Chains A and B, each alone.
Chain A
Amino acid sequence: MNLIKKITRRSFIKRSILTILSLELVYVFFNLLKKSNDRLKPDNLFEAGKLDLFEKNRVYPFSSRRFYLSRLEDGGFLAISTKCTHLGCTVQFSNNEGKFKCPCHASAFNKYGEVLAAPATRALDIYPITIQNDTILVDTEKPVKRTKYESSQITYA
């Protein structure tokens, strides 16, 4: 009640103007922050290579694009992000042990990206794969979050 009584016509107009101005500034500010996000995004698909280049049951690094291409026993593909789902460090694939290991906090993942060792709780992100004319195209701009590995995530030729 006290609050309502205090508002006069003059103070109402004053406050409205101030509020609108601040909202406008905040809006512009947040849009500025968003803007640089889009500017730095290239929108083409990354060409990983021809199908027969990749042997079955092996994992190929594309470190400059921040993903590993994992070809499974049955010939299916998974493009697995190198970004650890715990705190965003870059995981490395160890060929000897056959798993992804995070150097920061010792999370480990198998070749499907499933969690083998905590502290990570979520499987590694994957990138959508499309196969055109026997060429593998990876959309490295659209990481797909997943909680666990499912066979539907695999892309077949």
Chain B
Amino acid sequence: MSNSEIEKKAITKFLIHLHPVNVNAQAIKYTRTFGLGGIAALLFVILFLTGILLRFAYVPSEIGAYASITYLQQEVLFGQLLRNTHFWSGMLLVIVSFLHLIRVIYSQSIYYERRKNWLYGLLLMFLVILSNFTGYLLPWDQLAYWAVTIMTNMMSYVPLIGEKLATIVRGGAELNEGTLLRFYNLHTGLLPLIMVFVMSIHVWLVRKSKGVTVADSSKKEMVPTNPQLVYKEIVVALALILLLTFFSIFVDAPLQSQANPLVSPNPSKSPWYFMGFQELLLHLHPIFSIFIVPLLVTAFLIYIPYMKDVHVNVGVWFHSENGKKITIWSVVYAAVFTFLLIVASEYLLKFQLWMPDLSLLITTGLLPLVLYLVPSALFLYVMKQKLNADKTELIMSIVTILLTGYIVMTVVGSLMRGQNMNLFA
């Protein structure tokens, strides 16, 4: 091949070389991965491109921000569609990344040579949420202003450093133009840059551990990547782009009136993916809900693949048939119990009123936490006795309870709370 031919095909070759020449036939079955990682990467590219275009219209200042968004939506050709696409891609990226995380946990794809990649994955999840959150403020409307106010004030509940942390994030005691500028720079500069690096490492580590996990590693039937895998990827990518475009044509990204620091809307909510935290904060002392619980959950997630003496069936969904049963029971248990406890804590359980002499840390912190942990421990014990759950299955059960609990709190917080944050209002 001559030099000019190599140059001409450089981009195609680069894209093809992201994959190996041949792949395991099981690995490219759609239900193996649901293409979630690829979808997330494509969404990142869409966000990158639409984001670059949006930068030409957006003005990151207190006076200019809101006006530039309305100008974009009303005066610019396809401006509204551009913003919608960016907005919905961003929201979808949070969901898809979360599903991707769930997929790798339940298909046991985070152990051994994939440990390190699990950590990079968690880092990416964090970066995705951070990107979404910093972008949330930029329209500078009431929704944005108060969501970020609430979120940064939640941060200030972290013991010792919380107040300083919140001040550094906001650049002051209140949200102001400085906050807008630093969120804009993080959102359109630093975060995407870091994400490109971490994503590259993430993909490279997948290649290094010889691709995605397969259910039966003894079967080694290989098929050529091109066209077998490439065609599937193209179909999924086109379907996604089509759906996203249609959705963005018909559903507008929300834009409320311009931010007004003097009037808080009723109710004020943080972005929906943080609503689980805000809900938790209603039931649990801030030190527990904002600091101890998230810290323990994160530490647990990091620790899972490093646990000793566990027997894992790498690549097998839910570890085993028994594991599937246990996971389903855990979902049912956590969904029902979390919901009941939310309702009970709203109307019945008022430890701080019954025992006014005790510290709030105990009445609103420790007691509710124990009230959640004891039944959950009992549930795990029953699973162990009745269904013979082994260590791996118990870990999966704990993960399931945590995830389901957070999802229930998110749903209750964002959909079932109305005026004054009253339940069912």
Contacts and interface: CB of A to CB of B under 8 A. Distances in A.
Interface of A: 30, 33-34, 36-37, 39-41, 63-64, 66, 82-83, 86-90, 102-106, 118-119, 121, 143
Given A30-B168, A87-B154, A104 B262 contact: no
Contact of B150 (A33, A41, A104): A104
A89 B261 contact: no
A30 B161 CA distance: 14
Nearest to B148: A88
Nearest to B352: A118
Contacts of B3: none
Contact of B266 (A37, A66, A103, A118): A103
A40 B172 contact: yes
B181 A103 contact: no
A96 B263 CA distance: 19
Q: Could you tell me the dominant secondary structure of chain A's interface residues?
A: loop
Given A87-B149, A88-B149, A106-B422, A36 B262 contact: no
A87 B360 contact: no
Contact of B153 (A30, A36, A87, A103): A87
A104 B267 contact: yes
B132 interface: no
Nearest to A39: B178
Nearest to B182: A33
B177 interface: yes
Given A64-B262, A105-B421, A106-B420, A37 B171 contact: yes
A36 B268 contact: no
B150 A37 contact: no
Given A30-B168, A36-B178, A103 B265 contact: yes
A136 B268 CA distance: 34
A90 B182 contact: no
B61 to A, nearest CB: 13
Contacts of B150: 87-89, 104
A37 B421 contact: no
Given A89-B268, A104-B421, A106-B421, A40 B149 contact: no
B275 to A, nearest CB: 13
Contacts of A34: 168, 171
Nearest to B146: A89
A64 B177 CA distance: 16
Contacts of B352: 118
Interface string B165-187: 00110011110111001100000
Contacts of B421: 104-106
Interface in B196-232: none
18 contacts: A33-B168, A36-B181, A37-B167, A37-B178, A41-B172, A86-B153, A87-B149, A87-B153, A87-B268, A90-B262, A102-B264, A103-B264, A103-B265, A103-B266, A104-B264, A104-B266, A104-B267, A105-B268
Interface in B237-287: 261-268, 278, 281-282
Q: Could you tell me the dominant secondary structure of chain B's interface residues?
A: helix
B20 to A, nearest CB: 33
Interface in B128-154: 146, 149-150, 152-154
Interface string B350-362: 0010000000100
Given A33-B171, A36-B178, A90 B153 contact: no
A40 B146 contact: no
Contact of A143 (B173, B177, B282): B173
Contacts of B146: 89, 104
Contacts of B267: 103-105
A39 B146 CA distance: 23
Contacts of B360: 121
Contacts of B262: 63-64, 66, 82, 90
Contacts of A64: 262
Contacts of A121: 360
Interface in B348-381: 352, 360
Contacts of A30: 168
Given A40-B171, A119-B281, A143-B173, 11 more contacts: A33-B182, A34-B168, A37-B167, A41-B172, A89-B150, A89-B264, A90-B264, A103-B264, A104-B264, A105-B267, A106-B422
A104 B176 CA distance: 20
Contacts of B268: 87, 89, 103-105
A40 B181 CA distance: 13
Contacts of A41: 172
A121 B421 CA distance: 17
Contacts of A103: 264-268, 420
A66 B182 contact: no
A119 B282 contact: yes
Interface string B414-425: 000000111000
B146 to A, nearest CB: 7
Contacts of A86: 153
Contacts of B181: 36
Nearest to A143: B173
